[in-house]
């Protein structure tokens, strides 16, 4: 992009690989995108800075006249995002259509989003909506996801690193021994420049109903089993209410 006197757009992958077919790419006199159509199989996209790296992704694109769609799918999508998640993991991504629109030549004013997209593996299953809107730096986000199932004992890789204090993450990893998420929801809303929203400029909230919970509240304390709870995270705080055993 420096050849054309422009910086690389923030949030786009800076390196990629995959098998491309049916490519039709048209740029205008200002190097703005007029049309992009094609298919990429087994794509790997490497993100800059705090952005994720994906691999094993199939991408179909049809963009023209400053709008269009991108269809994503993967039987075994790899996600490596050290800023957000401690360990890489893989998911099955059902076909997910992202609607895209922009107004200017360099796509500095854009919007992209999807509805009712689903991803799952043996640990967790998610379904939800996402809307990203261009901002001066990082985009603003409006996301709402439903947790359809989850294995409490295998949630270590999925705790959002920048959102939770280190003491909370350590407690979750030490205390939660087993159980199932029967249902849950999570929402993120705000300007991603302010994430994780500890100054009140955005909203991060997650709530889950947990069954058959096995818990070691503190090291050396008696273990709690066959319990149920409703757990709620708001920004960096956590609260829980529930039942112990048959009580």
In tens digits, the chain (247 residues) has pLDDT values of 444 455 545 555 667 889 999 999 998 777 778 899 999 999 998 876 678 899 999 999 999 888 999 999 999 999 999 888 989 999 999 999 999 998 765 556 889 999 999 999 999 999 999 999 987 777 888 999 999 999 999 998 888 888 778 888 888 888 889 999 999 999 989 887 777 677 777 888 899 999 998 988 888 788 888 888 898 888 767 788 877 665 4
d(CA 82, CA 64): 34
Q: What is the Cα–Cα distance from 105 to 91, expressed in whole angstroms?
A: 34
Closest CA to 86 of 28, 8, 170: 170
pLDDT at position 147, please?
95
Kind and range of the H or E element at 225? strand 224-234
End-to-end CA distance of the chain: 64
How far from 92 is each of 77, 119, 123, CA to CA, in Å? 6, 5, 11
Could you tell me what percentage of the chain is helix, strand and coil, using 3-state DSSP and rounding each to the nearest 5? 10, 60, 30
- For 169-216, the pLDDT digits (tens) are 888 888 889 999 999 999 989 887 777 677 777 888 899 999 998 988
Q: What is the pLDDT of residue 161?
A: 82
Give the span between the Cα atoms of 161 and 101, in whole angstroms.
31
Strand 140-151 and strand 176-191: the pairing is: antiparallel
Tokens (6 digits) for 97: 């259509």
pLDDT of residue 75: 94
Tokens, residue 98: 């992202």
| Contact of 92 with 118, CB cutoff 8 Å | no
Q: Using CA atoms, how far apart are residues 161 and 171, in angstroms rounded to an integer? A: 13
Cα 147 to Cα 204: distance, rounded to the nearest angstrom: 15
DSSP class of residue 244? -
3-class DSSP assignment, residue 15: strand
d(CA 224, CA 130): 37
pLDDT (0 to 100) of residue 105 = 56
């Amino acid at each position: 992009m420096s050849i054309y006197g422009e910086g690389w757009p923030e949030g786009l992958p800076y390196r990629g690989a995959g098998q491309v077919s049916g490519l039709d790419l048209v740029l205008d006199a200002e190097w703005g995108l007029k049309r992009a159509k094609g298919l990429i199989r087994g794509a790997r996209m490497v993100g800059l800075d705090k952005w994720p790296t994906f691999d094993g992704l199939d991408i179909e694109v049809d963009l023209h006249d400053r709008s269009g769609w991108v269809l994503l799918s993967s039987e075994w999508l790899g996600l490596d995002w050290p800023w957000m998640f401690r360990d890489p993991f893989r998911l099955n991504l059902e076909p997910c259509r992202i609607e895209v629109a922009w107004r200017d030549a360099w796509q500095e004013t854009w919007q992209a989003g999807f509805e009712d997209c689903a991803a799952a593996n043996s640990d967790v299953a998610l379904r939800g909506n996402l809307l990203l809107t261009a901002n001066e730096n990082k985009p603003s986000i409006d996301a709402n996801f439903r947790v359809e199932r989850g294995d409490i004992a295998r949630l270590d890789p999925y705790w959002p690193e920048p959102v939770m204090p280190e003491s909370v993450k350590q407690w979750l990893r030490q205390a939660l021994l087993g159980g199932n998420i029967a249902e849950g929801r999570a929402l993120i809303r705000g300007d991603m420049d302010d994430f994780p929203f500890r100054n009140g400029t955005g909203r991060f909230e997650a709530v889950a109903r947990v069954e058959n919970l096995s818990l070691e509240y503190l090291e050396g304390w008696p273990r709690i089993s066959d319990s149920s709870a409703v757990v709620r995270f708001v920004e960096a705080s956590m609260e829980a209410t529930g039942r112990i055993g048959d009580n």
